[in-house]
Chains A and B, each alone.
Chain A
Amino acid sequence: MKQLKIQKILFYGLLLVMTLIYIGPFLFSLSISLNAEQDVFSWPIKLIPEKWTLGNYQRVWQDLPFGQWLFNSVFITLIQTVTNVFFASLAGFAFARLEFPGKKILFAILLGSLMIPGIILLVPKFIILNEFYLINTYAGLTLPGLVTVVNIFLMKQFFETIPKDLEEAALIDGCSYFRIFWQIFLPVSKPALAAVAIYTFQGSWNEFMWPVIVTTTREMFTLPVGMAFLKNEFSVQWPLLMAGTILISLPTLAIFLFFQKYFVQGVASAGLKE
């Protein structure tokens, strides 16, 4: 009994340390963003600022084209989330449920493409888009992320767990394959769809590498790129940068809190069904 208690204390202690490691930087950022002083790295570090202000947040909106960057980020993220959910489920359905020549080879090629590090593809992607005069455009920002292989794979795995009887009952009821997908499979796949939507939203919202390469003017920046440009060669405006960073992280935080149930369920149910 005593041993169990010690184990429990150790377990909670470990959890607390891990939580601090993960949440610490965020709390530190929050502290800096609220600090009225510019010299935020004075020793000893104070987690609760002596003089605090919301002015940094105000300045982010006033001094920077934050509104424009926010629009860009929201626009791209929403488009990519919607298209990923739609195309990944459509392709996942085809791979899971339809018989067509070359299905296995096609899927193997798709999965194989996951083995290629994304960084290698940056240059070819840039060259292709450049040929189509899409550099520094919304199309250039969104097109490469309209659908991802990981999401197709996730949806395929989920659709494979739906009993075949359901599809056959719908066929006899008079459904076409698209209607089976749209009216039967999609509504029963909410956890998987939510998982795809959340992953995509997070990935797209935080994406840095592609936007930094494909945008050339300030007004086309997304939020992460815009924030990064606050760090220049000679100085870094830490309170401003941290205020922006906190603002950027709010939507993902809200979405995670709101959809936490689906998020966990989606991860857990990739191979399970009710």
Chain B
Amino acid sequence: MANVELKKLKKVYGKDVLAIKEADVFIEDKEFVVLVGPSGCGKSTLLRMIAGLEEISGGDLYIDDARVNDVSPKDRDIAMVFQNYALYPHMTVFENMAFGLKLRKYPKAEITQRVEEAAKVLGLTPYLDRRPKEMSGGQRQRVAIGRALVRQPKVFLFDEPLSNLDAKLRVQMRIEIKRLHKQLQATMIYVTHDQIEAMTMGDKIVVLKDGIVQQVDSPMNLFNNPANKFVAGFIGSPSMNFLQGEIEKTEELEFVSGTVRFGIPNELNLHDKLSPYIGQPVTFGFRPEYLYDKAKEKSKQLSVDMDIIIDVTEPVGSEAYNYFHFKGQEDLTFCFRSDSAYDYQSNETITVGLDVARLRFFDVETENRIA
């Protein structure tokens, strides 16, 4: 197993289409790292550069402290699981899994032993003689993982491996891959556009947008302390609510946006960071989880009363997503998450308060987090 280091890694297509702009990421040995971002953000390109399937335009790539920019994919000691499985259709499951080992001239007995072991781990033993087309999507994906597994590579690469599976199977495979990671203690790099997948699987998440690494951090840190507005909005479901307003100074600092006005308590240590923005526009961000019905929640330190009017509610089982607007501000809709037992109705007015420990502010121009 090995660490992987990306140093100012750059990818340019043609003359001036920048796909990756100077990515700096350090992936430790045995770490499960997820590259996440919206379509076209460059996450797959970055993974393919690590695999050696895309040429590197600039910067350095190290696997196990060796520079591998010009090393061919087969000599990088990596294995990759593709989105479309990429199984060889004319070979049986056994042959698919054994192919890489055969090419590396492993003794027959060892090949058989490794394939059988991997098949056992993945529950594929009864299917070793089948061809891919005789198997379901989930089984095929398992074979693709098995093919990577038998190689015992330094680094495993996964390129959106679950996106072709149905929701239930996806959750099942997610757990299986995570279990495998624990069992193998291997370095794994995983690409997905699904932030839930990223949050649940990764030890560390790399968030990308337009080829630029936005933040590299643990899932909970990304959720609680996003570096900028993009990360704040991308991580978390439903995503963070944003409201543009101004910082005003009265006895304490206050955020004001139309009819919405609340104080920012001094003890939160936000004043130093927000003071330069007094009289300036800022973006205020709050997660749907951190808005509470004052009639129900008594234990938390909440902001002043704010009246909201429910537009639509979406019950999703134990909880409900309530879409609302602040009283007197019909044109902006936000989301708030509640226990579905509260059973809010459309046009119902309720008084809510924000968890003051969870207030987030972003610079309007740079979109970086202020506090």
- On A, residues with C-beta under 8 Å from B are 163, 165-166, 168-175, 179, 184, 187-188, 274
Contacts of A184 in B (CB 8 A): 88
- Minimum CB–CB distance for A174 against chain B, Å: 4
- A-B contacts, 6 of them at CB < 8 A, read A166-B88, A168-B82, A169-B88, A170-B99, A171-B72, A175-B74
Q: Is B182 an interface residue (CB 8 A)?
A: no
Pair B90/A163 contact, Cβ less than 8 Å: no
Complex Cα spacing A174 to B133, Å? 24
- Minimum CB–CB distance for B243 against chain A, Å: 44
Pair B86/A169 contact, Cβ less than 8 Å: yes
Partner of A165, one of B52, B73, B79, B83: B83
Contacts of A172 in B (CB 8 A): 51-53, 73-74, 78-80, 100
Pair B86/A166 contact, Cβ less than 8 Å: yes
Leading 3 A-B pairs by shortest Cβ distance: A165-B86, A173-B100, A169-B86
Contacts of A171 in B (CB 8 A): 52-53, 72-74
Known: A165-B83, A172-B74, A184-B88. 7 other contacts (CB 8 A): A163-B84, A165-B82, A165-B86, A166-B86, A172-B53, A179-B103, A187-B90
- Minimum CB–CB distance for B237 against chain A, Å: 29
Pair A163/B86 contact, Cβ less than 8 Å: yes
- Minimum CB–CB distance for A191 against chain B, Å: 12
The residue of chain A having its C-beta at the shortest distance from the C-beta of B89 within the complex is A188
Known A188-B89, A274-B133: A174·B84 in contact at CB below 8 Å: no
Q: How large is the interface on B (under 10, 10 to 19, 20 to 34, 35 or more residues)?
A: 20 to 34
Pair B74/A174 contact, Cβ less than 8 Å: yes
- Minimum CB–CB distance for B129 against chain A, Å: 17
Contacts of B85 in A (CB 8 A): 165
Main secondary structure of the interface of B (DSSP, over half): loop
Pair A169/B80 contact, Cβ less than 8 Å: yes
Known A165-B82, A171-B73: A274·B89 in contact at CB below 8 Å: yes
Contacts of B133 in A (CB 8 A): 274
Q: In chain B, residues 83-133, which have Cβ atoms closer than 8 Å to a Cβ of chain A?
A: 83-90, 99-100, 103-104, 133
Contacts of B89 in A (CB 8 A): 188, 274
Pair B103/A173 contact, Cβ less than 8 Å: yes
- Minimum CB–CB distance for B63 against chain A, Å: 13
Complex Cα spacing A234 to B133, Å? 64
The residue of chain B having its C-beta at the shortest distance from the C-beta of A165 within the complex is B86
Complex Cα spacing A26 to B73, Å? 58
- Minimum CB–CB distance for B109 against chain A, Å: 20
- Minimum CB–CB distance for B366 against chain A, Å: 38
Contacts of B51 in A (CB 8 A): 168, 172
Contacts of A165 in B (CB 8 A): 82-86
Contacts of B53 in A (CB 8 A): 168, 171-172
Partner of B82, one of A169, A179, A187: A169
- Minimum CB–CB distance for B47 against chain A, Å: 11
Complex Cα spacing A174 to B51, Å? 12
Contacts of B100 in A (CB 8 A): 172-174
Complex Cα spacing A187 to B90, Å? 7
Known A173-B74, A274-B133: A168·B86 in contact at CB below 8 Å: yes
Contacts of A168 in B (CB 8 A): 51, 53, 73, 80, 82, 86
The residue of chain A having its C-beta at the shortest distance from the C-beta of B159 within the complex is A165
Complex Cα spacing A68 to B82, Å? 56
Contacts of A274 in B (CB 8 A): 89, 133
Complex Cα spacing A184 to B89, Å? 9
Contacts of A174 in B (CB 8 A): 74, 100, 103-104
Complex Cα spacing A174 to B88, Å? 14
- Minimum CB–CB distance for B139 against chain A, Å: 17
Complex Cα spacing A15 to B41, Å? 57
Chain A proximity mask over B24-57: 1 for CB below 8 Å, otherwise 0: 0000000000000000000000000001110000
Complex Cα spacing A75 to B80, Å? 47
- Minimum CB–CB distance for B55 against chain A, Å: 11
Complex Cα spacing A169 to B83, Å? 11
